[in-house]
Chain A
């Protein structure tokens, strides 16, 4: 899956000072090995087309991360009902499981599929088709720099790790990444993100005092990203349970403050693949408050299947964009519904 985004080219940066620096950067960029970089593609919102440069990031697979659903049962026309159990065990939820089984039954009847391979293909098709989205790519192409990515989620899902991986990936592709450490609540969270920032080669904006208002850190992040002419600003937030009204209000405030001087390109909700049906409740609550634009599904390298994203995407219309498959800085990929479905079924 190609992942593209648009970068403004040098001279048209609004702030005058960084121009010199930028030119240098642009030279490096053009010289640096970026094989797929084609200059001048389709026109984008405000940016002038001829000054926009397309960057194609390398393709990534996440096959490593998905375990088959069918290690136990033999799958044939006779025991299609057992498929429901299998899907429930993958955290699809009762309603979604019933719906998928009904669809598989109907399709099998229509096509006369009988063998395990045929049925699996039908199942994979159904899951892949229902999860297929045109907008599954990160929205980093509007041309309005810096692209602000807000990362939210409940406690312990892997927000910080995801940010580390994403930063490294974007930095490797030649983007200047700034990270705002707006998780000022959890003990040593700033140090944790600092380690990742260092590994990824990103600039870190730290809170000036301990326990600083996260919204103000986010704001300073935006300011810094603008003055440093960064391409991407990623804001780390504290984990919060979706039923804590005050903490959710705080998130809304962060959003509001960031929008004073920046444009939020993505709000990524990080969901742990082990999460059960509460994932849907989480997604709903965060979507309402933080206007989530995409899901990052983490910890897919375990035994969990992450079936809850099916309901999240179907019921709430939020596409899955990223997946995390390990603790290493390179252990992530962009979501691909076909890969996900094949992984489950194979």
Chain B
């Protein structure tokens, strides 16, 4: 929908390529794009203004004019400043010296407090703690009930003496819960409170009363990553009204850029401690400021991508594959294995979208059907082992049989065989040191995953079997293939 920042900056920088030095006007042009990107990412205007001023001061200084690539240096500064505001280093949850540790959750309606309470409880339990959930949201219909179900799902007891739905006193419930937790030796108490608006004085007073009654070690402000400019007002209201110690960002599995993170962090000065990113009770992790910075700038989440690739990619397999390619023994069987390797890394579309410069491919990406891989797999699975190894023997009647077996048409089979032949050719080119010119219609970037072995040896000091990381190490910049801007090595 929106062109992303990296795309726009690529355009801005095109004009700067010839220049070794940036003028203040160049920097301002770059900063204007960055301002717009931040606003489109929902960073609050006042935060953007201060931010741009800070970046400008630094960008006009020595470090940029002396840099080899000044334009990229500006982006680097922006990124650094973002990470700085987002909390620099991660902060860990604070535990009380004498249990129980008391954690209070507060936030707007619908920010995801109850679900988060469950995730947090599970996370703590997995770490050997004995948490208890406290149902102090007595406002929303069946919030108590919901917490009970959540508690049951994660196997954590719920303290819920009041039925809710407007009945009962949340302050009293919270207070009693601490007593209860001490008695029953629970190590962490997680108090779920009702959603409230920052301007609702009565409810803010009530939240303050709860806080005073339980003296929490952490007051976590739970905020939806889709929130817009109002994030500053809300954060201020909760900081002033309740007093918060940390922030949790929810629904990060959506596609909102999450500029609110920056607004909240810079307005309250409080660290973002956790990120919640899915509907499962495990979809919860510590917050990584650097990744969030990349996300807000829409610069591609390189770290996540590399980590995923490292986690999933089998090095031994990759070596074997590279050797096969080198010996020109690459078969449809191998092709299928490669697709499955790629599969393990997750949604391929998401993976590609995470890469810098992916914006250029966005339209094609939208048209890319993940199920194409299923179909390809079905076709290959309908072949005999002999056919997979020697696609040359595929005559008309074999192709018809395969088409019937896989529920596809002969045309589909033909096109797969053609693509495979092209890909094999391309790999031979790469083997000889050439650059592939794109692999039309190939759903998976085989060339990227298993580059010729020869090249590996050339890069000293790299221990990684992961081409992504290798490239990043070697070039000291985001990896996206030999031609970072084309992205064509993915054949999309």
Q: Which residues of A contact B (CB under 8 A)?
A: 85, 88-91, 93-94, 154-158, 160, 164, 185-189, 191-192, 194-196, 241-245, 272-282, 284, 299, 301-305, 307-308, 327
Contacts and interface: CB of A to CB of B under 8 A. Distances in A.
B227 interface: yes
Interface of B: 1-2, 36, 39-42, 44-45, 108-112, 114-115, 118, 139-143, 145-150, 153, 165, 197-199, 224, 226-231, 233-234, 237, 251, 253-257, 259-260, 279, 370
Nearest to B35: A94
Contacts of B259: 276
A269 to B, nearest CB: 14
A308 B228 contact: yes
Given A94-B39, A241-B253, A192 B141 contact: yes
Contacts of B237: 303
Contacts of B227: 274-276
B230 A187 contact: no
Contacts of B228: 91, 274-279, 304, 307-308
Contacts of B231: 274, 276
A186 B42 contact: no
Contacts of B199: 302-303
Given A154-B226, A156-B112, A274-B224, A93 B142 contact: no
B145 A274 contact: no
15 contacts: A89-B229, A91-B42, A91-B228, A93-B39, A154-B226, A187-B147, A192-B145, A274-B227, A274-B230, A277-B256, A278-B228, A281-B255, A301-B197, A305-B230, A307-B228
A114 B386 CA distance: 84
Nearest to A190: B142
Interface centre among B42, B139, B228, B233 (most CB of A within 10 A): B228
Given A93-B40, A188-B149, A299-B109, A278 B226 contact: yes
B449 to A, nearest CB: 24
A94 B165 contact: no
A97 to B, nearest CB: 9
Contacts of A196: 141
Nearest to A160: B141
A301 B197 CA distance: 8
Nearest to B254: A241
A242 B251 CA distance: 11
A9 B204 CA distance: 50
Given A88-B229, A156-B112, A302-B197, A195 B42 contact: no
Given A302-B197, A304-B228, 19 more contacts: A90-B229, A91-B228, A91-B229, A91-B230, A94-B36, A94-B40, A156-B111, A187-B150, A188-B146, A189-B146, A273-B230, A274-B227, A276-B227, A276-B256, A278-B226, A278-B228, A281-B256, A299-B108, A302-B199
A243 B257 CA distance: 13
A274 B254 contact: no
Contacts of B198: 302-303
Given A88-B45, A299-B109, A303-B198, A154 B230 contact: no
A275 B226 contact: yes
Nearest to B42: A276
B264 to A, nearest CB: 13
A6 to B, nearest CB: 32
Contact of B148 (A188, A189, A299): A188
Contacts of B44: 89
A93 B147 CA distance: 36
Nearest to B38: A94
The DSSP consensus for interface residues of chain A is: loop
Contacts of A90: 229
A272 B279 CA distance: 19
A311 B31 CA distance: 25
Contacts of A186: 115, 146
A318 to B, nearest CB: 15
Nearest to B236: A303
B252 to A, nearest CB: 10
A94 B37 CA distance: 10
Contacts of A273: 230
Given A157-B110, A242-B254, A276 B142 contact: no
Contacts of B197: 299, 301-303
B398 to A, nearest CB: 34
B96 to A, nearest CB: 28
A155 B40 CA distance: 21
B109 A327 contact: yes
Given A241-B253, A304-B228, A280 B146 contact: no
Contacts of B148: 188
Nearest to A241: B254
B251 A89 contact: no
A20 B19 CA distance: 86
A269 B254 CA distance: 17
B251 A241 contact: yes
Contacts of A284: 1
Given A192-B142, A195-B165, A274 B251 contact: no
Contacts of A91: 42, 228-230
Contacts of B109: 156, 158, 299, 327
Contact of A277 (B40, B115, B146, B149): B40
A186 B256 CA distance: 22
Contacts of B370: 245
A85 B49 CA distance: 11
Given A195-B165, A243-B254, A85 B226 contact: no
A191 B150 CA distance: 14
Given A155-B251, A304-B230, A191 B145 contact: yes
Nearest to A305: B230
A280 B145 contact: no
Contacts of B257: 277-278
